Chains A and B, each alone.
Chain A
């Protein structure tokens, strides 16, 4: 199985642990990723509010770079995933926009024909690799580890390409395949605070607090995320939450880190040491911590 790979900025920065764990999990499962050359910022949510067609052209440049590889394009960051998917659809459905983007790309000597399929790693793992193949690679089942599966909003909304829009379940199934105990977590697609943690911290941090508090209440040892921004908001503000809301703490990990642990990789190789709120103690309490 081969895929083109668009890491986006987060996976090279704040979400480095996501990239490290994703690459090692995919390697174990025999999934090849080919990072597209000279990729650029996806524009995230902010650029389209500043300049709509330029934002689409910016994102389309990545699609144009990926198209000649003739492989599905894996975008692990939920924001990148959504922006690329949205760009594809907007170009397809709005001829006026398509024309402007086409001219923009042409100026850079590029063209995009509309043939790139954008995939999230969760989709690839469940629908292409398959739960049986995942199960077959599990060396150290995550026995007893209670996980709150947190999807955030962008992977399933507004386009529910591979899972339910308000009540997705595929990460639940995947973590169960790795042996984890998935707790029922009705906040699985509630807002993490998004960029409000920076712009309106009172509001944003409060939203993150709800998620952590409820995970704790439901007995979760860790919260599993699949989006670098969700991870950042849940992992980085727990001291602020303790100061302004409530003293409550649950470590946040990427779902790929949990899979990696089940496959027998070390905490370090999965980037678990990069967490602000360390998951080591939680993992140790279930005898899942590794040396190094």
Chain B
């Protein structure tokens, strides 16, 4: 822990320095002297032991060259086989490499058997390239260097998503590698209209960020909007997609998430096909999806994998759970402290008997229980899985049972709080569930203050707030402005057959289905750089 902290701090310092230097004047260019270049790069990176510098000679002319790469983030096999092997052993042809200008071109054309090689001239790009996992090759008396894409190293393999589980459906989930993530989506959409635009965000971290969408399906203004928002980010370090979400969301003062995230490539694919934009951030297995609407958070991709009738019922259930988790305790409080006439007489008598010995007002009691429940939940999540079980047993059995028996809380309250808690788990999105948890407390306070009137007014505030929200300028409550054709899919997943069109709010009006043949060429897309797998 200490070590890594120090390491991080050192790095930060160094980078700040380089940042200053590059910021101060014009770009620094490479020197023609190989030794100087190698010394410079080692110096620049603080003589770090994981920077590997390999000196070698090429061909019969024995041109001096040096390959630089960072151990661990490069694919060693690639470095050995496609760079060192091909340069050192296979380039024997006695072609004159003395003519300076031709070295690079020649090597690039004949020697490097890598798919992706670019020519670098300035130090900033060299260092970024090395730190990104590329191998940079310097040549004696050449002011340029070649950078071969050898990104690799140890990565988490594609595993099943742990946050969004489906029973039936694909089992792959996003990983921390942006290239892998993009490829997972690309595999699912073989359209030439798919577009990928890269960004680098964070002055220090230089994190790769990419947006992906289908041209013609998505409204151009949305893409433009997101480009502007990404370009306007001025930040030292980008920690992950959560961080990015915060930076590009429309409103800050809201508990609701206005940008969707997903760990599942099929979810992302579905939304891209809907005419939304996916944003991938390197190092995060969650891609962002914008624009988002409130109702998206209550859909699970599972709904599309089950029979539509079942899916509709399940979604209805989820909305019922939403209502319970939002209003459950507050309705109980309101009924028990303001509107006792509403409770059927036998139930009222039984509740009254239970509450005889409870010393706290209902609101305080509910607050205590909710609080205890939130602690339990938090503890259950943070604990190692084996202990997590024990926490819930202690919480549920010991705390709940004992509290009721001791007369601190009434058993009805335990039921209400437990039901609320379980209901809140049925929201597929954790972010949304968090927002609802938060609002529930406000609702409870309103109920304790003014009963149903309080709840009604609080709900007006809440719905007013929700209606005022936007995601990329698209209204968050997409139920309105009402576009009837869109709504079939809003509340309940519809059978795929009937769901051929894209929502009009986000979709381009002149959308058309194009085949690969007559579609415009996609060569303007620099996706190759990120994708790492070369162009077709």
Real binding pair: no
